[in-house]
Amino acid sequence: MSYYQYHLFFCTNQREPGEMCCNNHNAQAMRDYCKEKVKSMGEAIPGKVRVNSAGCLDRCDKGPVIVVYPEAVWYTYVDQEDIDEIVESHLAQGKIVERLLIDNQ
């Protein structure tokens, strides 16, 4: 069994001006928001959860992106409500948020 029930990686990469990247969509702020949301939910989420920043995940065309392990589920998001849905559905209830999925190709 893994030490963490879920491990989230937020791409927070910043590319050169004019190039598409996740950090152009406030990725660092959304990662910080997610970390606080997970912390505030406490025991409503079974097991330990780690929320990390990641360098480029090479999915900028789908971005901004989060990948959730151990399932390797890839999400995109627009706002805090999307982050809330990922945390409350996927992490707390184990239900994938289909509308925010991006393909694994």
Q: For 6-35, how does the pLDDT look when each residue is reduced to its tens digit (9 = 90+)?
A: 999 998 887 777 777 777 778 999 999 999
- Please say whether the structural domain 6-100 has been given the CATH code 3.40.50.300: no
Q: Is 63's pLDDT higher than 80? A: no
Give the 3-state secondary structure of residue 26: coil
Q: In one letter, which amino acid is 7?
A: H
Domains of the chain, residue spans:
6-100
Side-chain-side CA neighbours of residue 19 (13 Å): 10
Nearest Cα residue to 21 out of 51, 52, 53, 65: 65
Residue type, 52: N
The answer to whether the pTM exceeds 0.75 is: yes
CA dist 18 → 24, 28, 60, 72 (Å): 10, 18, 13, 29
